Amino acid sequence: MISIQNVSKRFGKFKAVDNINIEVEKGEIFGLLGLNGAGKTTTQRMVSTVFQPSEGNITVNGFNSKSDSSEVRRNIGFLPTEVGLYDRLTAREVIKYFGILNDIDENRINDKIDEVLEKLSLVEYANKRCGKLSRGNKQKVAIARAIIHEPPVFIFDEPTSGLDVISSRAVLDFVKQCKDDGRTILYSSHSMYETEEICDKIAVIHDGKILMTDSIEHIQKEHGSLEKAFIAAVKGERS
């Protein structure tokens, strides 16, 4: 569903992503792990067509991110780390605006918004201005607006970062529900525990390179826990 082949990204002389290969199958949750500055966000931005790879190819649902970038955008919902909502608009208005931008039929949009508000337990906040919402509810609105066009692929950059236990749980349960609905998810996180819980496979990125790719099941069998495997991989690079 997502194919990243020999992809690199240069910012001037600096190589932020260095010849990575990742395959994400339909219905999988694939985790990107790595220290600050490892290249996770850069990778997710390239898949989302925010910018193009300097080298290599990315396809999403068979569409090439360079030659078919608008098709790729139709096939993905991208939740960036830094979420800017329009504080003066209500949750419903923000979601509606993005739905219209994504060509959702105006006759169907209100039903779709109701559905997504329900799924994210946002119904009671629908008519509140975004500026007045808690961080957790802002994040849920950001998720709702990213996926209102019901794309098959979601790209979530640290969706639980800074959220309390209850809000994180709601987001994680939502992501799992999306997987059960057959969606494919490229997910980044600094939490080993949540990654272990929700991801099928992971890649550890370090200095733009992939140090390991494996299934969570196999990692737990081999190393006992994801945290142990991650620290061993990253420390090995530093010594």
Ligand X SMILES: Nc1ncnc2c1ncn2[C@@H]1O[C@H](COP(=O)(O)OP(=O)(O)OP(=O)(O)O)[C@@H](O)[C@H]1O
Contact positions vs Mg ion (CB under 5 A): 40-41
Q: Which does 34 bind (CB under 5 to 8 A by kind): ligand X, Mg ion, none?
A: ligand X
Q: How far is the CB of 5 from Mg ion (least distance, A)?
A: 22
Give long-range contacts, CB 8 A cutoff, 24+ apart: 63-68: none
Q: In what helix (H) or strand (E) does residue 32 lie, and over which residues does it extend?
A: strand 29-33
Nearer to Mg ion, 174 or 187 (CB): 187
CA distance 25 to 61: 10
Residue ranges in 1-30 that form contacts with ligand X under rule CB under 6 A? 11, 16
Between 5 and 161, whose beta carbon lies closer to ligand X?
161
C-beta closer to ligand X: residue 37 or 224? 37
Q: How far is the CB of 39 from Mg ion (least distance, A)?
A: 9
The nearest distance, CB 15 to ligand X, in angstroms, is: 9
| CA–CA gap between residue 208 and residue 200 (Å, rounded) | 22
Choices 35-43, 165-173, 192-200, 223-231 (CB under 6 A): range interacting with ligand X: 35-43
Question: Cα 219–225–227 angle (5° rounding)?
Answer: 105
- Among residues 42 and 167, whose Cβ is nearest to ligand X? 42
**36 near ligand X, judged by CB under 6 A:** yes
Cα distances (angstroms) measured from residue 109 to each of 56, 150, 154:
37, 12, 20
Q: Is 80 in the site for ligand X (CB under 6 A)?
A: no
Give the torsion sign (CA, 10, 16, 20, 24): negative
> In this structure, what token pair is assigned to residue 74?
């139709």
- Alpha-carbon distance of 20 to 3, in angstroms, equals 10
Give the one residue of 20, 22, 29, 39 binding ligand X; rule: CB under 6 A: 39
Q: Of the candidates 4, 30, 33, 34, which one interacts with ligand X according to CB under 6 A? A: 34
Residue pair 119/98 in contact by the 8 Å Cβ criterion:
no
Smallest distance, Å, CB 7 to ligand X? Answer: 13
Give the residue with the Cβ less far from Mg ion, 41 or 59. 41
